[in-house]
Amino acid sequence: MVGLLPYILAALGLASAFPLIPRQNNTGTERKLLVSTNNLILPFYFKDNTFIQSQANTTLPQVTPSWLALKEPNLLYAVDENTNATMLFNFDEVAHAVSKEPVASANGSVGTVSLAFNQDKTRLLGASYGGGAVDVWDISSDHHLKLIKSVALEVPGSNAHQALLDPSGRFFVVNDLGGHKIYIIDSKDDKYEIISSYDTPDQTGPRHGAWIKSAGAGNSSSPSDLATHYAVVCEVGNRVLLYKVGSDNGIPVLTLVDNVSTFGDAFPPTTPESAAAGELVVASNQKDIYVSNRITGNETDSISHFALEDYSLRFVDQVSSMGTKPRMMSLSADESILFSSNQNGTNGLVAYKRCQSSGSLDEEPLAVYDNSNFPLVDGQVAGPMFVMEVPVLSKQ
């Protein structure tokens, strides 16, 4: 009975009254996923190595919810990358369903493509690709989205693609794809001000990254609360840049220490001019790094695996993406699976078994889900843009 309590509370909408219900990694056989693509947010189950689409989809005509962010247990934020809207949906964890309509929607900068929470999830940052800005939303009260600031990036042509909270919980890094820059924003005292920026030369186009906090990274000058590294994949140049993170009185200072191709030497793209690397994911061992290669001109695109070794990146191996345009990837909560999303080609969703010791992905996926299951948009294949596992309530 005790084990059912969280479910009963959640069903009654009371779970948020008990914020300390412990959560754990999903070690059972059934996982819950949230997937999105053009006009759709789709809950999925992943069970017995099979993707199973829930009937409870959320259809949003004319909306492209290409990024989702869950404030547990029941608030699901979504972008619309075609308009100025950021939306909030109700998420029912027990029924594994998203409300049919947004419960709140508000306009900020145009074309937001990713979202990030601050540490206590009272602020939500939206990276506006179209507007070249980072929007800061007050989400401190439920069902409420209030724009408190829009941080304009410095250069014309800026396209903010992602903002990422650092391990200290105070700083965000911002990747500016069109401005070829990386910025640091300081959230202290709710100011959200740009305090430094770094050029990424040769039109490299930083897109998505990850802070890394590696205990085995030699003698870092950083205080323990800062990251040791920042790794970012660049869409235009198809490079992975690795920065060492130092400290200037507690403020992160980035120094470029490595710069490698997103392709291993043996796997050049057929069409380097169109290639556009997409996602970067780091495992919690702070060592395995996965990067998606898109529009390579090969029959399928690929996912490269790098190992962080002190202050350099070593290409380890790669697997086929099993489709084309792998836009987004994420690890399962227990990190035994990498989920990936191909916007085009045969297979839309892909689940790879990840070896917990070597970090390598099995070439033969655990499961795929065909793109023909997703409705065409303007006669074109419109596969998934986003996939993440939803953490489960503890069953203790």
Ligand X SMILES: *[C@@H]1O[C@H](CO)[C@@H](O)[C@H](O)[C@H]1NC(C)=O
Under the binding rule (CB under 6 A), the answer on residue 334 touching ligand X is yes
Task: Give the three-class secondary structure for 10.
Answer: helix
For 155, 174, 238, the CA distances from 293, given in Å and listed in that order, are 27, 21, 8
Pairing, β 206-212 against β 193-199: unpaired
Candidates 223, 268, 272, 364; binder of ligand X (CB under 6 A) is: 268
User: Closest-CB residue for ligand X?
Assistant: 131
> Which C-beta is closer to ligand X: that of 189 or that of 201?
201
73 preceded by cis ω (within 30°)?
A: yes
Check residue 284 for interaction with ligand X (CB under 6 A): yes
Q: Which of 182, 171, 246 is nearest to 208 (CA)?
A: 182
Which range of residues in 1-9, 153-161, 184-192, 266-274 is near ligand X by CB under 6 A?
A: 266-274
CA distance 61 to 221: 51
Q: State the chain's maximal CA–CA distance in angstroms.
A: 61
Q: Is residue 21 within the footprint of ligand X (CB under 6 A)?
A: no
Name the minimum Å distance from CB 382 to ligand X: 7
Beta-sheet pairing, 50-53 with 40-47: antiparallel
Full DSSP string of 124-152: EEEEETTTTEEEEEE-SSTT--EEEEEEE
Residue 199 CB, nearest distance to ligand X (Å)? Answer: 8
Does 110 bind ligand X (CB under 6 A)? Our answer is yes
Which amino acid belongs to residue 29? T
Segment contacting ligand X (CB under 6 A): 5-13, 70-78, 107-115, 187-195? 107-115
113-152: which residues touch ligand X (CB under 6 A)? Answer: 128, 130-131
Count of beta carbons in the 10 Å neighbourhood of residue 86: 28
The Cα–Cα gap between 44 and 55 comes to 9
Residues in 174-213 that interact with ligand X by CB under 6 A: 200-202, 204
Q: Does residue 379 belong to the site contacting ligand X (CB under 6 A)?
A: no
Pick the closer one to ligand X by CB: 82 or 298: 298
Binding site for ligand X (CB under 6 A): 24-25, 40, 53, 55, 57, 59, 84, 105-107, 109-110, 128, 130-131, 200-202, 204, 218-219, 239, 241, 256, 259, 267-268, 270, 284, 298, 302, 318, 334-335, 344, 375, 380-381
